[in-house]
Chains A and B, each alone.
Chain A
Amino acid sequence: MYDFGIKNPTSIDDVKAALGDAEDGQFLAGGQTLIPVLKQRLAMPSDLISLSRVDGLSGITAGGDSISIKAMTRHAEVAANADIKSAIPALAKLAGGIGDPHVRNRGTIGGSVANNDPAADYPAAVLGLGATVITNEREIDADNFFTGMFDTALNEGELITEISFPIPEAVGYIKFPNPATRYALVGVMVAKFGNTVRVAVTGAGPCVFRVPEMEQALTASFSPDSIKDGLVPADDLNNDIHASREYRAHLIGVLARRAVAEANG
């Protein structure tokens, strides 16, 4: 690590002030990505602005047709939450499959979504469920939030405060874990809302994406058989030592079918 300062604001206003005061400040949520990056000297922020003590940034609230998760809520809390388990079981399962117990007890939903790692699980849930990302400045639709590899619609200094997930009629999430990291080599979330179906894929490309061809097919008939092979071309997918792009393309079809089967119970 290089030397850095640390600030512990307790309100959103203080967060903004702290960021403004810092020469090159960086938010610290659960630190499950940032701390390893710092340890490897791959980043050199002047100050870390810890969000752990900011009032009102943690907790889960269930409403009639949506569930709202505050940004600093840990993965383990999402995995164990009774409302989420009953209303959006695939979301609880997704959170319970992130990393290991250490990661799940430190990592936060806001940190994960803001980081937008191409292999992270949460982006699949946010996009697949059509969630709304709420910041200290505005509300952003999931479809407009994830803009590229490690890139989002967040402005400089803009802070996610909570994420609101609409409750679907049926939902499934299947992840094929990278054997080394257990990040998603490919992860597919399928969610059905009345006549609308959303399919979101993480791990396979540079950024989480939807698959309109699958969504149309599933809207016509919400069954695994509706998903034909080859709906996602391999060309733009990730290609690395863990999986070729053609294998990832194949997995998307397999996992999507299994996610539909899971959604159908």
Chain B
Amino acid sequence: MATYVARNGIGENQRRVEDVRFLTGHGKYIDDVNIENQAYAMVLRSPEAHADIKSIDVSEAAALDGVLLIVTGDDWKSTGYDPIPTKSAVRTFIDGSDMKVPPHHALAIDRVRYVGQPVALVVAETQDICRDAMELIEVDYESLPSVTHQSEAIKEGAPQIWDIAPGNVCLDFELGDEEVQKKAFADADHVITLNMVNNRVTATPMEPRGAVADFDPETGKFTLWNSSQNIHANRDTIADVVLKIGKENLHHIAPDVGGGFGGKNGVYPEPILILHAAKELKRAVKWINDRSESFLSDTHGRDQVSKVQIALDNDGTFRGLRTESVGNLGAFCGTVGSFTPTGGSSRTQGGPFKFDGIYYTAIAPFTNTCPLDPYRGAGRPEGSYHIDRIIDYAAAQLGMDPIELRRKNLIPPEALPMKSPMGLDIDCGNFPEVFEETIRISDREGYAKRVEASEAKGMKRGFGVCMYLECTGGGPKEEAKVTFLDNGKVELSVGTASTGMGHETVHAQLLAGHLGLAMEDIVFRQSDTDATEIGGGHGGSRGLEVGGSAVTQTSRQIIEVGKKIAAHRFDVDADKVEFEDGRFHVPGTNHTMTIRDAIDSQNDPDNLPDDLEPGCMNISSVFERGIISIPNGGHACEVEVDPETGTIKVDGYWVVDDFGTIVNEMLASGQVMGGIAQGLGQALMEDIYYDESGQLVTGSLMDYALPRADDMPRMVIAYYEDAPTEKNLLGVKGAGEAGCVGAPPAIVNAVCDALKEYGVHHIDMPLTPEKVWKAIRDAKATG
């Protein structure tokens, strides 16, 4: 583990300043936002996967005492509002034609296309009255054939979901040079093929989605408090595109947000519906999703089926990789939508390994399911799973050692910087060193003894590794604004969005460190369109890379202005002034001025040189990153499998991450642990499951299994810090998603290692006890 030298706040294990508030019940989450005289809204959701709405009778519900407003699809159509757009970065088919974008209206118009789709909005004096009213709304549905699995959806004769999308295909995609890949395959000694499933999961943030909308008839302005990760972009979409009220008329705020993981990134129907209701009623309207609705209506993640092929030589040299994926989109294009299975899953194909050629293709079909959108990692976990599973599978088929195979094929540091076959600019890193360190810390010496102990209990022990390659950055621009308040406090506003990961700590830590201020004097603001002009929110592990860099840039600009103020006081040139540890001083003199002194001076013109205005230290700056960063790392995992029941216990976990510079190790490790928990959940138990009629079977925590504390192993996490990137001001590479990129393949590899004596070399996620038991039984039966 590296030794840290705290510099400008970097490397300080500052404890989280928000935790006291969160842990003592003083957080302000969306349900804590209450406006005087607010009404309550609930959404009537479709019970049908695919059906025509023949009629909706709201008369009884509307007559109920306390019901204020009911909005149906027909009402919505008559408002003239636009559908919610998609922002997929890939927008054309391979043949150049446009992707198919069906109209995603906030309420179903004439037809429903997934269970849970909003059919009507009910607004009443209380939530209970909303519930009573919903029971009185009569919707006459005429069922249509439905399809929920992407592989079924693209078959001939499958039910058609959108007229504009023949064969249900929204988009197809390719990346890489197929000719080069084919030549590599032809030249190689072996081609190994594995079909694999990246199971459908949902983010299940502890705090469900919710929003409060208010409208001021005097000014025509709206305010929306929203449990969202992406306040600025979603304001623009909601105000400018959907409702067409002008973004200057929508003040969009996220209070404390209890988890997002991508599931709160997109633009959802419900906040749009209650903005409309607030205007109609001239009253504030609150809507809170309950847990069951969350399963039905929070965008889901992953859900790809892939055929992966690797070509390699007898000596283990990798030659080529080919992946063909089909990624479920659900019934509509989500906000990022079709990008995840196409471009998003393509960029890290092949991981940190040398290949002559890589070729990736994808088809993104519509199905009668809830729309899919980014979930922590959004494409990179899929890419990592492809390469790290096919390596272990190939090793098993060819009698090779999966660790040696990786060792042999990792891109050496001297090959960097390079452009990968997938077009990624890999600027720096040391993959072999990170890999070897992962193996070194994972207590291989004690392994044989642990195997023996497991065998004595009738258990099978296995060890698995993965060496992931990530690409992070999210929205490329970020603003950091610093305002020195009269009461001595320093307001720091950043356009990033913390959903619990600790921005309030780390951004303040950077500002305090740069300027030599006290942490407790910093007041943090985020997720408010009035606080910063722009804001990229949360997504793509961008908080420090872009937001932290913006804080650093603004800090530096403040120091430059401070130098001018000090120079003015000491009557020297500004370039003679230096700044260190919160003090301006002129070397060789006894002239010093504290940052506080400079701040206190900034409002009096007498204290300022001619080119500075009062308030000149209150600075906002926008940082724009270069191309995306490339975190990478090794995960190693030990599991113990009970062959009689199929139960898996993850019994040891070791990680070495190259996130570039580590600013706050505790926060980074928190991200890694949380990511591993979600990766473990996906690998072993989480599964969104629709039955053949399109009903969501795993619609509650009674049926959707989440990992708990006692499912988690002890985790050893170390960092490789010798390759900071120059793509941002901090040298950081993004830590937020890596845990769940590395964990699924590492865990599945370890399980398959444990089961190799039975001849079991692959099981599709989630590796439930029954699946493991069946795999062993079937392998025994076939000998």
A197 CB, nearest partner CB in chain B, Å: 22
Please provide the chain B residues from 753 to 783 with a CB less than 8 Å away from any CB of chain A in the complex.
768-770, 773-774
Please provide the chain A residues from 232 to 265 with a CB less than 8 Å away from any CB of chain B in the complex.
241-244, 247, 250-251, 254
Segment of A80-88, A151-159, A174-182 in the binding face:
A174-182
B159 CB, nearest partner CB in chain A, Å: 23
Please provide the chain A residues from 22 to 51 with a CB less than 8 Å away from any CB of chain B in the complex.
40-41
Given that A1-B128, A241-B697, A254-B645 are known contacts, is A179 also in contact with B770, CB under 8 Å in the complex?
no
Please provide the chain B residues from 225 to 242 with a CB less than 8 Å away from any CB of chain A in the complex.
none
Which residues from B are CB-within-8-Å of A180? 685, 701-706
The residue in chain B whose Cβ has the minimal distance to the Cβ of A254 is: B644
Assess whether A243 is in contact with B697, with CB atoms less than 8 Å apart: no
Judge whether B77 is part of the interface by a CB distance below 8 angstroms. no
Contact of B645 among A1, A40, A241, A251 (CB under 8 A): A251
Assess whether B770 is in contact with A243, with CB atoms less than 8 Å apart: yes
Q: In whole angstroms, how far apart are the Cα atoms of A242 and B703 in the complex?
A: 8
A39 CB, nearest partner CB in chain B, Å: 9
Assess whether B703 is in contact with A41, with CB atoms less than 8 Å apart: no
Which residues from B are CB-within-8-Å of A251? 645
Given that A1-B128, A247-B770 are known contacts, is A179 also in contact with B645, CB under 8 Å in the complex?
no
Q: In whole angstroms, how far apart are the Cα atoms of A1 and B647 in the complex?
A: 38
B774 CB, nearest partner CB in chain A, Å: 8
Q: In whole angstroms, how far apart are the Cα atoms of A244 and B770 in the complex?
A: 8
Given that A1-B128, A41-B131, A176-B645 are known contacts, is A181 also in contact with B702, CB under 8 Å in the complex?
yes
Q: In whole angstroms, how far apart are the Cα atoms of A247 and B647 in the complex?
A: 12
Please provide the chain B residues from 681 to 710 with a CB less than 8 Å away from any CB of chain A in the complex.
684-685, 689, 697-698, 701-706
Q: In whole angstroms, how far apart are the Cα atoms of A98 and B500 in the complex?
A: 31
The residue in chain B whose Cβ has the minimal distance to the Cβ of A39 is: B290
B713 CB, nearest partner CB in chain A, Å: 16
Which residues from B are CB-within-8-Å of A178? 705
Contact with A along B629-644 (1 / 0, CB 8 A): 0000000000000001
Given that A176-B645, A179-B768, A251-B645 are known contacts, is A241 also in contact with B773, CB under 8 Å in the complex?
no
The residue in chain B whose Cβ has the minimal distance to the Cβ of A179 is: B705
Contact with A along B702-725 (1 / 0, CB 8 A): 111110000000000000000000
The residue in chain B whose Cβ has the minimal distance to the Cβ of A3 is: B128
The residue in chain A whose Cβ has the minimal distance to the Cβ of B711 is: A179
Q: In whole angstroms, how far apart are the Cα atoms of A41 and B42 in the complex?
A: 15
Q: In whole angstroms, how far apart are the Cα atoms of A67 and B706 in the complex?
A: 37
B522 CB, nearest partner CB in chain A, Å: 37
Q: In whole angstroms, how far apart are the Cα atoms of A260 and B689 in the complex?
A: 36
Q: In whole angstroms, how far apart are the Cα atoms of A217 and B475 in the complex?
A: 68
- Interface size of B by CB at 8 A reads 22
Q: In whole angstroms, how far apart are the Cα atoms of A179 and B702 in the complex?
A: 9
Q: In whole angstroms, how far apart are the Cα atoms of A41 and B645 in the complex?
A: 37
Assess whether B773 is in contact with A179, with CB atoms less than 8 Å apart: no
Q: In whole angstroms, how far apart are the Cα atoms of A181 and B685 in the complex?
A: 12
Q: In whole angstroms, how far apart are the Cα atoms of A237 and B683 in the complex?
A: 27
Q: In whole angstroms, how far apart are the Cα atoms of A181 and B770 in the complex?
A: 16
Which residues from A are CB-within-8-Å of B706? 180
Which residues from B are CB-within-8-Å of A247? 770, 773-774
Which residues from A are CB-within-8-Å of B704? 180
Q: In whole angstroms, how far apart are the Cα atoms of A228 and B368 in the complex?
A: 46
Which residues from A are CB-within-8-Å of B702? 180-181
Which residues from B are CB-within-8-Å of A244? 770
Q: In whole angstroms, how far apart are the Cα atoms of A243 and B689 in the complex?
A: 14
Given that A247-B770, A251-B645 are known contacts, is A241 also in contact with B689, CB under 8 Å in the complex?
yes
B309 CB, nearest partner CB in chain A, Å: 32
The residue in chain B whose Cβ has the minimal distance to the Cβ of A253 is: B644
Assess whether A241 is in contact with B770, with CB atoms less than 8 Å apart: no
Most A C-beta atoms less than 10 A away, residue of B131, B645, B685, B705: B645
Contact of A250 among B128, B292, B685, B773 (CB under 8 A): B773
Q: In whole angstroms, how far apart are the Cα atoms of A47 and B356 in the complex?
A: 74
Which residues from B are CB-within-8-Å of A254? 644-645
A250 CB, nearest partner CB in chain B, Å: 7
A2 CB, nearest partner CB in chain B, Å: 8
The residue in chain A whose Cβ has the minimal distance to the Cβ of B645 is: A254
The residue in chain A whose Cβ has the minimal distance to the Cβ of B703 is: A180
Please provide the chain A residues from 64 to 87 with a CB less than 8 Å away from any CB of chain B in the complex.
none
Which residues from B are CB-within-8-Å of A41? 131
Q: In whole angstroms, how far apart are the Cα atoms of A145 and B596 in the complex?
A: 78
Which residues from B are CB-within-8-Å of A179? 684-685, 705, 768-769
Which residues from B are CB-within-8-Å of A40? 292
Which residues from A are CB-within-8-Å of B689? 241
Contact with A along B64-85 (1 / 0, CB 8 A): 0000000000000000000000
B747 CB, nearest partner CB in chain A, Å: 15
The residue in chain B whose Cβ has the minimal distance to the Cβ of A247 is: B770
The residue in chain A whose Cβ has the minimal distance to the Cβ of B771 is: A247
Q: In whole angstroms, how far apart are the Cα atoms of A252 and B505 in the complex?
A: 51
A187 CB, nearest partner CB in chain B, Å: 13
Q: In whole angstroms, how far apart are the Cα atoms of A241 and B689 in the complex?
A: 9
The residue in chain B whose Cβ has the minimal distance to the Cβ of A243 is: B770
Please provide the chain A residues from 1 to 26 with a CB less than 8 Å away from any CB of chain B in the complex.
1
Q: In whole angstroms, how far apart are the Cα atoms of A176 and B645 in the complex?
A: 9
Which residues from B are CB-within-8-Å of A250? 773
Most B C-beta atoms less than 10 A away, residue of A41, A178, A242, A244: A242
B108 CB, nearest partner CB in chain A, Å: 23
Given that A250-B773, A251-B645, A254-B644 are known contacts, is A241 also in contact with B703, CB under 8 Å in the complex?
yes
The residue in chain B whose Cβ has the minimal distance to the Cβ of A180 is: B705
A248 CB, nearest partner CB in chain B, Å: 9
B538 CB, nearest partner CB in chain A, Å: 28
The residue in chain B whose Cβ has the minimal distance to the Cβ of A100 is: B708
Q: In whole angstroms, how far apart are the Cα atoms of A105 and B397 in the complex?
A: 52
Q: In whole angstroms, how far apart are the Cα atoms of A235 and B639 in the complex?
A: 33
A244 CB, nearest partner CB in chain B, Å: 7
Q: In whole angstroms, how far apart are the Cα atoms of A179 and B685 in the complex?
A: 7
Q: In whole angstroms, how far apart are the Cα atoms of A180 and B768 in the complex?
A: 11
Q: In whole angstroms, how far apart are the Cα atoms of A241 and B702 in the complex?
A: 11
Which residues from A are CB-within-8-Å of B703? 180, 241-242
Assess whether A241 is in contact with B698, with CB atoms less than 8 Å apart: yes
Please provide the chain B residues from 104 to 159 with a CB less than 8 Å away from any CB of chain A in the complex.
128, 131
Which residues from A are CB-within-8-Å of B644? 254
A34 CB, nearest partner CB in chain B, Å: 15
Q: In whole angstroms, how far apart are the Cα atoms of A179 and B701 in the complex?
A: 10
Q: In whole angstroms, how far apart are the Cα atoms of A242 and B771 in the complex?
A: 11
Which residues from A are CB-within-8-Å of B684? 179
The residue in chain B whose Cβ has the minimal distance to the Cβ of A248 is: B770
The residue in chain B whose Cβ has the minimal distance to the Cβ of A40 is: B292
The residue in chain B whose Cβ has the minimal distance to the Cβ of A250 is: B773
Which residues from A are CB-within-8-Å of B768? 179
Contact with B along A160-182 (1 / 0, CB 8 A): 00000000000000001011110
Please provide the chain A residues from 173 to 196 with a CB less than 8 Å away from any CB of chain B in the complex.
176, 178-181
Which residues from A are CB-within-8-Å of B773? 247, 250
Q: In whole angstroms, how far apart are the Cα atoms of A158 and B116 in the complex?
A: 41
Q: In whole angstroms, how far apart are the Cα atoms of A180 and B644 in the complex?
A: 21
B40 CB, nearest partner CB in chain A, Å: 15
Which residues from A are CB-within-8-Å of B645? 176, 251, 254
Most B C-beta atoms less than 10 A away, residue of A41, A243, A250: A250
B460 CB, nearest partner CB in chain A, Å: 15
**16 contacting pairs across A/B (C-beta < 8 A):** A41-B131, A176-B645, A176-B769, A178-B705, A179-B684, A179-B768, A180-B685, A180-B705, A180-B706, A181-B702, A241-B697, A243-B770, A244-B770, A247-B773, A251-B645, A254-B644
B interface residues, Cβ below 8 angstroms from A: 128, 131, 292, 644-645, 647, 684-685, 689, 697-698, 701-706, 768-770, 773-774
Q: Which 5 A-B pairs have the closest CB atoms?
A: A180-B705, A179-B705, A247-B770, A179-B685, A254-B644
Besides A180-B705, A241-B697, A241-B698, 19 more A-B contacts (Cβ < 8 Å) are A1-B128, A40-B292, A41-B131, A176-B647, A179-B705, A179-B768, A180-B701, A180-B702, A181-B702, A241-B689, A241-B703, A242-B703, A243-B770, A244-B770, A247-B773, A247-B774, A250-B773, A251-B645, A254-B644
